Structure 1
């Protein structure tokens, strides 16, 4: 998908709907225009009563805790993240009475531009609490706001437009995220961790009132996300401003960069899900190449909504028409090894030059835990190493217990060749391999060597029309995946015509 400019074609989805009704309750006089402000990058513990301005990236709901100084009394607090530059954002904690903190929470919303004055700058605490419960920030300090001594107001000074633009800049590197395919198929080891995602909103579920086991009443909303590799992935929102904000998002028109979202294995659904918590920060419609490409992809698909779908979202084979040589395919793979580029779908006409199905069976088959899909091996007794899975690392698979047998599927290493070269380290997986081999994967170990050799020479050095998908995994050193979507025989005329 070609880059055609900035996000001028995105719907202007903002948080105004969530905050406009609140602002009507307060007079315009509370909006300050200028004062002596200190940039976050120039703050340090000990600085005397500074004033700062920035955009609110996220905020949590007011909380009540027991006072340590005055046992038997309660204190209220609320936290939010303030940002005044792409690489400068900080946690702010407001302390005060119940009425004061709830008033601040109601008056100021995510994406508001605010000014704080007479605040305290304190070094970060490294007791583990912040890493576990607060958003990760690049600053070495936090800001403390006191209802009795500090002030917070809306800000519309000379920096307001610049600060407003920061809401479309992700707080992490543009390519620092996982694709959903990786999270589902290989991410069980990530269960319980916080990761970054770049996704499109596919569906927004209703807001539900929930009563917890302890009797607490809360709200819950579930969204379905998607990207180029996965048609549906659950995101769960619990009571927070984000539930209200999410109601203004538009399916297939809203791209999200989600920083530090918690992923976990859902035993009931038998798949991975994500949950926004106190560490999570959303960037809506981020102004990046990767986000723009994903937006275009979402609008190029004809989706049929299927509740609970977690499989691939690959286009129909008949819609894939671009033809490449093996040499060009190798170049595109190398490009994606060096840097992120959009997923490519295409066709090659090539010979199957390596198809060693009569070799080591362990190199032809792949075993997975039936519950969580974690890859398991014979060397460990097919033990599942995912601690979140009920099979668990301490459980081993037994032939007498049906629900703990590993599932088995094909993953056959192959090479493809044409007149321009040979590409190695490819594989034919799953149903595509089973259709070619003509033997169910679970029956393959029992097949004789002679039969396997016969299958090998049925396909080796034969002309094939191969539909493929080339995609890159996460990070600077992300792995590049070449997935065979279809492998069919082709006649000599079509083969000769297409390679000229």
Structure 2
């Protein structure tokens, strides 16, 4: 049996091969579920391993393997979790072998050694002492270079060629799904949950969590507020959802709210970023500097065909359509103007309403309430091949198309609004639009009208494509 007599506390940096009677203090930063090895001799011969990764400084982390019977290993796995500070007493210290197969299934570490614990020779306990906060601060440091990661746009663009590869990602939580229990092929019950994350390049990627500790820690993740550095996530094509996903594995290390400049910048972006499909389209439409540069002519049907073409990599595209506007309700009961929270762009009932989105800094009371008011119209564009219904005409684009400001429109009489409507309604127009392709959030393409002007007959005859 082990004995604590003569045990000496050493750091990971001071480890040497064959050292005995040592104690290492560190924070558990990753963990794998226990894995049993069945033997022909029967249950009494069953033996398995429980592995985790320990860190005791910004630069030093090591993999630990605990060997023993099923009850012993399950007891350890249920007692010690990611984010806890522990004492490892009297482990066996050995050199990691270059190219060792086991390293392909465990997190990348900086230590040249590995620690092995056995049921009768070693011990692990929760650490007690004034230095616990110092060890817990290590949870904010990624285990990979903070500036070296894939963007979600990289994953969506190249995901098919990256199938089963592992990547590093810096993301922020968009939504956290419920915990689910499913049956594995071997009869085991597995716990899983899906989390959707986003970054500055994409509004969403679904990640599937399998590590029970990470599944449970996700209970405390908050949309737009929790940044995740995901080291060694596996990229996979999900046949059921027909989309690229990522999932954690035995090599994955999840760093919550990392203390890096890149994470700070992402968090700043995430708090007000458009993440719903309609909000993204509106953001793109308002940020396009010069709609007159759109010159690729399409019919309505050509636009729809391209929008639904899964072989295209671009998430959005623009087009010039020669068409009729046959729906432009400026003087009826349809909504023409919308008030939004300036923090999260959530629509409000009116300009005097408060934001009820508790995930928004304004809605949570962390910032002074402010309201943005703008045009919010829906129009229908029609040509000889079909129609585009519910095209969005919002903000500054609506002011350009209507040739009046929001204040000027609000001051108009009903007759003046009717006259304004008929300047465009049922007229042949050159409409410049932006199209957002379908996604898991929105099964149909979204279209925003960016600019519109009356078209000369000569333009119509020379530019309308024959479809």
TM range (shorter): 0.5 to 0.7
1:297 to 259, 269, 294: 269
2:272 and 2:58 map into 1 onto residues whose CA distance is: 31
- Preserved CA contact (<8 Å) 1:96 1:146: yes
Contact 2:87 2:124 in 1 (8 A): yes
* Pick aligned residue for 1:278 from 236, 247, 250: 250
Do the aligned partners of residues 314 and 150 (structure 1) sit closer, same or farther apart at CA in structure 2, a change above 3 Å counting?
A: same
Query: What residue is the counterpart of 1:50 in the other structure?
Result: 22
Which of the residues 318, 322, 336 maps onto 1:432?
A: 318
Query: Within the alignment, does 1:218 sit opposite 2:184 as a pair?
Result: no
CA contact (8 A) 1:432 1:486 kept: no
Distance 1:36 1:158 in 2: 18
Larger radius of gyration: 2
Counting only pairs closer than 5 Å after superposition, residues 320-331 of structure 1 correspond to structure 2 as 320=286
Structure 2: distance between partners of 1:268 and 1:177: 27
The question of whether the paired residues in 2 share the 8 Å contact of 1:206 and 1:222 is answered with: yes
Report the counterpart of residue 444 of structure 1 in structure 2: none
Unaligned runs of 5+ in 2: 298-305, 323-431, 435-447, 454-467
- Say whether the 8 Å CA contact 2:23–2:90 is kept in structure 1: yes
Q: Is the 8 A contact 1:169 1:286 kept in 2?
A: yes
Q: CA 1:301–1:127 in 2, change beyond 3 Å: closer, same or farther?
A: closer
SS class of match (2:178)? strand
TM-score (norm 1): 0.57
Residues 258-269 of structure 1 correspond to what in structure 2 (within 5 A)?
258-269=230-241
Output one character per residue of 1:14-54: Cα deviation in whole Å (capped at 9) or x when no partner. xxxxxxxxxxxxxxxxxx9x974211122122222321111
Match of 2:139 in 1: 167
Number of corresponding residues: 330
Distance 1:276 1:219 in 2: 13
- CA distance in structure 2 between the partners assigned to 1:145 and 1:351 by the alignment: 69
Select 2:126's aligned residue among 145, 150, 154.
Answer: 154
Matches within 5 A, 1:19-418: 36-66=8-38, 73-126=45-98, 128-301=100-273, 303-304=275-276, 314=280, 316-317=282-283, 320=286, 348=289, 407=311
Assess if the C-alpha contact under 8 Å between 2:318 and 2:433 holds in 1. Answer: no
C-alpha contact 2:173 2:224 (8 A) present in aligned 1: yes
Structure ranking higher on relative contact order (CA contacts 8 Å, 6+ apart): 1
Q: How much does 1:216 deviate? A: 2.2
Distance 1:242 1:408, change over 3 A: closer
How big is the alpha-carbon RMSD for the aligned residues of Structure 1 and Structure 2? Answer: 4.2
Secondary structure of the 2:9 match is: coil
TM-score by length of structure 2 reads 0.61
Residues 288, 368 of structure 1: alpha-carbon distance in 2 compared, 3 angstrom cutoff: same
Give, in angstroms, the shift of residue 430 of structure 1.
Answer: 5.5
